[in-house]
Amino acid sequence: MLRSMYSGIGAMRNFQTKLDVIGNNIANVNTYGFKKGRTIFQDLMSQTISGASGPSAASGGTNPRQVGLGSQLAAIDTIHTQGSLQTTGRVLDLAISGDGFFIVGDANGNNQMYTRAGNFYLDSEGYIVNANGLYLLGDGGPLKIDSNAKSLSIGADGNVTIVDDTGNLQLVGTIQLAKFANPDGLEKEGNNLFRETVNSGDPQIGVPGANGTGKLVSDALEMSNVDLAEEFTEMIVAQRGFQANTRIITTSDEILQELVNLKK
């Protein structure tokens, strides 16, 4: 009975974590470039009452007798599936159709982080930055647009071109994308940013459309890959699992109460 109570307590704690992940997914259903999380459970150790025995001349073999001791949290995955693209008509709104991440960092190209959110802007000096002021990095570092540029365009290959004040077409630079051997190993930093870890592998940096990276889509943004129908279904399952484990604790407590009352 004590085993069942502790199994129920551990499972309730795990389902609370699952609900926390689901709540974060639903909260970010409209966050550009957001990648949903997924909670994975696994069984805990089992107490062996008797081990297995092999067949003999007089009798057959027997299977082991074990009592499980509950569940535990195995992993919280980040699902990097492609989100749908929303057309915005704004040239500095960029989406990646395929694998890869935008590279952002400081003015010297250091402290690099990675994002799928492509809502970029121009600062007062003409640099392309994200909503937090981090510079979008290209082949030569931060990309800067001349203040006299009459128009700006960004190609699927990442080439950033302008029409200058003399009417000539001028290449500003090329946006680069980073790809990882294990994108699930990236660490979320908040603000739609990811940071590489020892398990993500080193970034493989290249131009869009090369070495397995996706192509850029200008005038569009990638939406969150959260599916509300799926999240609500998972929330119901987690709620029912939580309730079922509270009943385990309640039932075990009632049986213990009956044992205590035997002496009366």
User: pLDDT confidence of 180, banded at 50, 70, 90?
Assistant: very high
Specify whether the CB–CB gap between 33 and 192 falls below 8 A. yes
* Residue 16 pLDDT greater than 80, yes or no: yes
CB 255 within 8 A of CB 127: no
| pTM for the structure as a whole | 0.86
Is 198 among the domain residues? yes
What's the pLDDT score for residue 1? 59
Q: Residues of 4-41 as b/e, b for ≥16 C-beta within 10 angstroms?
A: bbebbebbbebbeebbebbeebeebeeebbbbbbebeb
- How many domains does the chain contain in total? 2
CA distances in angstroms from 106 to 38, 124, 180, listed in the order given: 32, 16, 21
- Could you report the per-residue pLDDT of 63-86, keeping only the tens digit for each? 899 888 888 999 999 999 999 999
* Whether pLDDT at 2 is above 80: no
Full domain range(s) for residue 21:
2-45+67-80+226-261
Let me know whether 233 and 213 are in one domain. no
> What confidence score (pLDDT) does residue 46 get?
84
Average the pLDDT over 22-44 and give the result: 95
Q: Kindly state whether residue 30 falls inside one of the protein's structural domains.
A: yes
Domain check: are 214 and 235 in the same one? no
The Cα 163–Cα 109 span in angstroms is 26
Give me the mean pLDDT over the 112-122 stretch: 95
Same domain? 169 vs 212: yes
Clarify whether residues 73 and 133 are in a common domain.
no
